[in-house]
Structure 1
């Protein structure tokens, strides 16, 4: 009989019917054991509750002005909703690619809300560290995007998946990680768009000029093209989280690989957008475009490339799923 890495030498050497309680194995038997188990569960649930509570407090502070402005001009709510339509469409497309079993709306909704809430953590960290890099000019911002914005934003989006969906029985296939990652990205993009649109609206209002809604609509349109990126980045990270769940021996490296991939794509996007005029000038057909059209063309090309790569991974999973006949074990109803 070969030894298993997860077992103490006594476990694999002793007979199966031998009681090894508190020698090499353990299960709750005494009152103290039960108390330890309860305290552990409370700490886990309390830790999750504390993280969510802190996120709520941060978002409430960020959102207070948005709520006040929206009550004054309800049409802003329409701009908020329209700004996430492209990202939402992308999420639906990814969700529909699930060949195993469609993920339930309840778990998807919680993941969306957590992505929405945890965006506040990213905002706090990003603003706190920005000052360390901005003084070094363009090079400093490159490192800021690579070392701060990309890693922090992708980590908080992955945390939104890890705290709930990952622990759910619904997360029962590798591909589910990409789906929940995409939904967390949608939640993140939603609040980011809301804050950008609110800020743009208030800046125009502060000038005292009329025609508030034309520039606000333009901001909403620009943000609608920025949102899908978040879905794509975190879908990559989520896919590797799915691999990690079903390959526990390599869980840590797989999670890190997913974050590195998502961070790399995300940070590169930010770097290129921050130097968009120079980037567009490298492509003669794009160099003469107005800034807004140039931005749209760039985003479509950049996100299109990485979405194609992501969709290729999902399609390869689908083909393999079908070729091994795994569909016989699953009910695809949501």
Structure 2
């Protein structure tokens, strides 16, 4: 049991540490980051219940609808909703890279609990592949979501609302495509998913670099009017 729990939790904490320590300016208090991690972890159970209900009733079980609506749409929407409700208007969210930290935290909270449940059901033998693919992909979706939400928070322009919605649409599309690959190429998925993950990592690391070029102290003062 301890081995399974350790193998399930380790990838999430390793990835969280990686992105947390990438902050070049002002790292957020770990207590706040951990709180968002816990919020993300609590999403697993209601989402699993909804997905199970649809599966039991045989609704939306085609590869495209299952991938883009029940997996990508449902999971990324709830992550985005938690971010908007619990983080977006808070004073401690004040820089573009903050968005990445909180996005990754929520996503990895979800991925870690999901990973624990999966390894308990299927054994530790699949832990390595789970770390490389599902857990990492959740973190990368969180990077992209957080980047756009950070951009929406700090750029007080007419297009900022568009960027906030882009923070929802882009992870849904990428997550849906990830699951669609698994649905279509069930026996040879690794040959398609591996290059997909490489591209996803490159996109995410580029977003990290771009976010780290804009420190919180250069955000326009007009952002005060957006505070709750």
Tell whether the structures are fold-level matches, with TM greater than 0.5: yes
Q: Specify the SS of the correspondent of 1:133.
A: coil
- Report how far residue 103 of structure 1 moved: 1.2
Number of corresponding residues:
215
Q: Specify the SS of the correspondent of 2:59.
A: helix
Unaligned runs of 5+ in 1: 1-75, 135-139, 201-215, 281-294, 327-334
Matched residue, 1:129 = 54
Q: Indicate the larger mover: 95-104 or 81-90.
A: 81-90
Q: How far, CA to CA, are the matches of 2:11 and 2:181 in structure 1?
A: 21
Matched residue, 2:141 = 233
Within the candidate set 224, 240, 251, 2:131 is matched to 224
Matched residue, 2:20 = 95
Q: How far, CA to CA, are the matches of 1:321 and 1:160 in structure 2?
A: 24
Q: How far, CA to CA, are the matches of 2:214 and 2:147 in structure 1?
A: 15
Q: How far, CA to CA, are the matches of 2:211 and 2:114 in structure 1?
A: 31
Instruction: Kindly indicate whether the alpha-carbon contact (under 8 Å) linking 1:110 and 1:164 is maintained by their aligned counterparts in 2.
Output: no
Matched residue, 2:180 = 271
Structure with the greater alpha carbon radius of gyration: 1
Give per-residue Cα distances to partners, 1:208-253, cap 9 Å, x unaligned.
xxxxxxxx12133332232111111122112212222234644542
Q: Specify the SS of the correspondent of 1:132.
A: coil
Instruction: Kindly indicate whether the alpha-carbon contact (under 8 Å) linking 1:158 and 1:234 is maintained by their aligned counterparts in 2.
Output: no
Instruction: Kindly indicate whether the alpha-carbon contact (under 8 Å) linking 1:84 and 1:227 is maintained by their aligned counterparts in 2.
Output: no
Q: How does 1:1-334 map to 2 (within 5 A)?
A: 76-130=1-55, 131-134=58-61, 140-200=62-122, 216-225=123-132, 226-247=134-155, 249-276=158-185, 279=188, 295=190, 300-319=194-213, 321=215, 326=218
Q: How far, CA to CA, are the matches of 1:227 and 1:97 in structure 2?
A: 19
Matched residue, 1:23 = none
Give per-residue Cα distances to partners, 1:38-95, cap 9 Å, x unaligned.
xxxxxxxxxxxxxxxxxxxxxxxxxxxxxxxxxxxxxx23312222423332222222
Describe the shift of the 1:78–1:158 C-alpha distance in structure 2 as closer, same or farther (beyond 3 A): farther
Question: RCO higher in 1 or 2 (8 Å CA, sep ≥ 6)?
Answer: 2
Instruction: Kindly indicate whether the alpha-carbon contact (under 8 Å) linking 2:152 and 2:164 is maintained by their aligned counterparts in 1.
Output: yes
Q: How far, CA to CA, are the matches of 1:274 and 1:116 in structure 2?
A: 25
Q: Specify the SS of the correspondent of 1:168.
A: coil
Q: How far, CA to CA, are the matches of 2:23 and 2:215 in structure 1?
A: 10
Q: Indicate the larger mover: 105-114 or 89-98.
A: 89-98
Matched residue, 1:57 = none
Q: Indicate the larger mover: 121-130 or 106-115.
A: 121-130
Give per-residue Cα distances to partners, 1:107-142, cap 9 Å, x unaligned.
1010000000012222122223332123xxxxx122
Describe the shift of the 1:239–1:306 C-alpha distance in structure 2 as closer, same or farther (beyond 3 A): same
Q: How far, CA to CA, are the matches of 2:152 and 2:214 in structure 1?
A: 18
Q: How far, CA to CA, are the matches of 1:317 and 1:198 in structure 2?
A: 37
Q: How far, CA to CA, are the matches of 1:279 and 1:260 in structure 2?
A: 28
Unaligned runs of 5+ in 2: 219-228
Q: How far, CA to CA, are the matches of 1:81 and 1:304 in structure 2?
A: 26
